């Protein structure tokens, strides 16, 4: 086994670059002081060719793009532990990761965006058609394995391992931002079958979108109306409120004043950074310590595992860099045995109705974190 090309990143995390049997890229991120060797086994599988890049269709009523990625219908659904496709490969389980790892990132086998980039296609300008316009879904979708263990989540990892995960997020944000046609990069974790998780293995994903997402477009409009100081004002307002859950040296966590979800927490850096790639070593280290407290706290609210989405809202790649990086943790769980479903008002009209008072949420979060 040859040693893989490597790069030493912040705080001693090492990235090792590899390629899977069908040409997809794989990146191993070794913990600081990892005992893993620099050599890794090659992917010995014989794989089908990668699916064609999906197509996006433009909704003329909302000016939003919908990616039609039919190949995703074939993805693995809740496999048994001995066939975990994200575990290190073995003689009986030829998984997506050929060898042992601490953290691993690889291109999704059934992506919603990519593998084609803007340099590979020559789509018609979307401004030329109002109805019936389509484009190639260029971009990138990657899977982030937080651990080689079959079960767990982001919050069950140690601060040392989370430090490696944060480094991987920052490194991949920078790399995907350089892909031709990528306009916004989105790291996230879905946790729990109620959210739609199809693999129990602790993992998340990173999307490189070929457009600025609808939520961020609305945020851009707000910043343009209000001014670039919007995030400082929000942080100052929440820092003196009863909704503040944790305040550290570099980050604050709070339930937002107008929380949509029964459980919702925003984690915001005190210094303006547009994305994870702009964070420094001290900010990344504190974040790695803070995340387990918050994510284990969401389980402590009701005393057992709670489904959630942990979503990193980052600024667009090229413009509007005055948007501040924010982690949004949301859960539809509104009581021990009840979920909030997005029914008529939320799904059809986008008009949310809160089920839990934000101040009551914050009290529960604070008690759980303690």
Residue 313 backbone dihedrals phi, psi, to 5 degrees: -90, 115
CATH code where residue 197 lies:
3.30.428.10
Residue 241 backbone dihedrals phi, psi, to 5 degrees: -100, 165
Q: Are 267 and 290 in contact (CB under 8 A)?
A: yes
Point out the residues of the chain with pLDDT beneath 70.
Answer: 73-75, 77, 125-130
pLDDT score of 196: 84
pLDDT score of 20: 98
pLDDT score of 2: 75
The reply to whether 278 and 186 lie within a common domain is no
The reply to whether 203 and 221 lie within a common domain is no
Sole residue written with tokens 């059809």:
348
The C-alpha atoms of residue 324 and residue 230 are separated, in whole angstroms, by 9
pLDDT per residue as tens digits for the range 110-161: 999 999 999 999 887 666 666 788 999 999 999 999 999 999 999 999 999 9
Segments in 138-203 forming alpha helices (H): 159-177
The C-alpha atoms of residue 260 and residue 265 are separated, in whole angstroms, by 10
The reply to whether 54 and 158 lie within a common domain is yes
81 found inside a domain: yes
The reply to whether 150 and 166 lie within a common domain is yes
The reply to whether 205 and 248 lie within a common domain is no
The reply to whether 44 and 79 lie within a common domain is yes
DSSP 82-99: GG-TTSBP-SS---SB-S
The reply to whether 279 and 231 lie within a common domain is yes
305 found inside a domain: yes
Sole residue written with tokens 């942080």:
235
Domain termination site, one of 151, 176, 211: 211
The C-alpha atoms of residue 242 and residue 249 are separated, in whole angstroms, by 19
The C-alpha atoms of residue 196 and residue 184 are separated, in whole angstroms, by 23
From the CB of residue 157, how many other CB atoms can be counted at a distance below 10 Å? Answer: 22
Q: Which residues are catalytically annotated?
A: 203
The reply to whether 254 and 363 lie within a common domain is yes
pLDDT score of 128: 62
96, 322, 128: which is closest to 201 by C-alpha?
96
Domain termination site, one of 177, 211, 245: 211
Residue 70, C-beta contacts closer than 8 angstroms, at least 6 positions apart: 54
CA 247 to chain centre: 23
Domain termination site, one of 211, 244, 259: 211
18 found inside a domain: yes
Q: Are 323 and 215 in contact (CB under 8 A)?
A: no
The C-alpha atoms of residue 342 and residue 333 are separated, in whole angstroms, by 12
From the CB of residue 181, how many other CB atoms can be counted at a distance below 10 Å? Answer: 24
Q: Are 267 and 288 in contact (CB under 8 A)?
A: no
pTM: 0.96
The C-alpha atoms of residue 195 and residue 88 are separated, in whole angstroms, by 25
The reply to whether 182 and 251 lie within a common domain is no
The reply to whether 193 and 264 lie within a common domain is no
117 found inside a domain: yes
Token representation of residue 312: 């990193």
pLDDT score of 73: 67
Which residue range is the domain that position 346 belongs to?
216-369
The C-alpha atoms of residue 267 and residue 313 are separated, in whole angstroms, by 10
- Count of structural domains, the chain: 2
The reply to whether 92 and 36 lie within a common domain is yes
Q: Are 58 and 134 in contact (CB under 8 A)?
A: yes
104 found inside a domain: yes
1 found inside a domain: no
Q: Are 316 and 184 in contact (CB under 8 A)?
A: yes
The reply to whether 200 and 226 lie within a common domain is no
The strand ranges marked E within the chain are: 6-8, 14-19, 25-30, 55-59, 64-68, 103-107, 134-136, 140-145, 184-191, 203-209, 244-247, 251-254, 263-269, 308-313, 326-331, 333-335, 338-339
């Amino acid at each position: 086994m040859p040693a893989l090309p490597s790069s030493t990143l912040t705080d001693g995390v090492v990235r090792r670059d590899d390629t899977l049997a069908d040409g997809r890229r794989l990146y191993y991120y070794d913990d600081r002081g990892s005992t893993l060797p620099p050599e890794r086994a090659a992917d010995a599988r014989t794989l089908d060719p990668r699916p064609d890049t999906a197509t996006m269709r433009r909704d003329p009523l909302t000016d939003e793009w919908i990616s039609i990625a039919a190949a995703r219908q074939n993805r693995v659904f809740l496999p048994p532990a001995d066939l975990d496709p994200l575990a290190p490969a073995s003689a009986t389980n030829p998984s997506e990761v050929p060898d042992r790892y601490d953290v691993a990132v690889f291109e999704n086998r059934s992506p919603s965006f990519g593998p084609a980039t803007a340099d590979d296609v020559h789509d018609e300008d979307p401004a030329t058609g109002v109805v019936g316009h389509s484009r190639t879904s260029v971009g990138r979708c990657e899977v982030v394995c937080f651990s080689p263990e079959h079960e767990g989540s982001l919050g069950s990892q140690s601060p040392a391992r989370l430090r490696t995960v944060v480094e991987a997020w920052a490194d991949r944000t920078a790399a995907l931002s350089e892909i031709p046609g990528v306009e916004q990069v989105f790291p996230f974790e879905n946790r729990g079958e109620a959210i739609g998780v199809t693999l129990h293995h602790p993992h998340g994903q990173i999307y490189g979108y070929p457009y600025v997402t609808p939520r961020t477009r609305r945020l851009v409009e707000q910043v343009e109306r209000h001014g670039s100081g919007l995030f400082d004002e929000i942080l100052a307002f929440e820092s003196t409120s009863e909704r503040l859950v944790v305040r550290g040296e570099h980050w604050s966590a709070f339930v937002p004043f107008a929380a949509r979800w029964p459980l919702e927490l925003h984690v915001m850096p005190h210094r303006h950074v547009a994305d994870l790639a702009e964070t420094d070593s001290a900010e990344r280290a504190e974040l790695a310590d803070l995340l387990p407290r918050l994510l284990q706290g969401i389980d402590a609210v009701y005393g057992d595992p709670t489904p959630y989405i942990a979503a990193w809202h980052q600024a667009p790649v090229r413009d509007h860099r005055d948007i501040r990086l924010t982690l949004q943790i949301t859960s539809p769980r509104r009581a021990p045995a009840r979920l909030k479903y997005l029914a008529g008002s939320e799904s059809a009209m986008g008009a949310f109705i809160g089920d839990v008072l934000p101040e009551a949420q914050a009290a529960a979060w604070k008690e759980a974190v303690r």
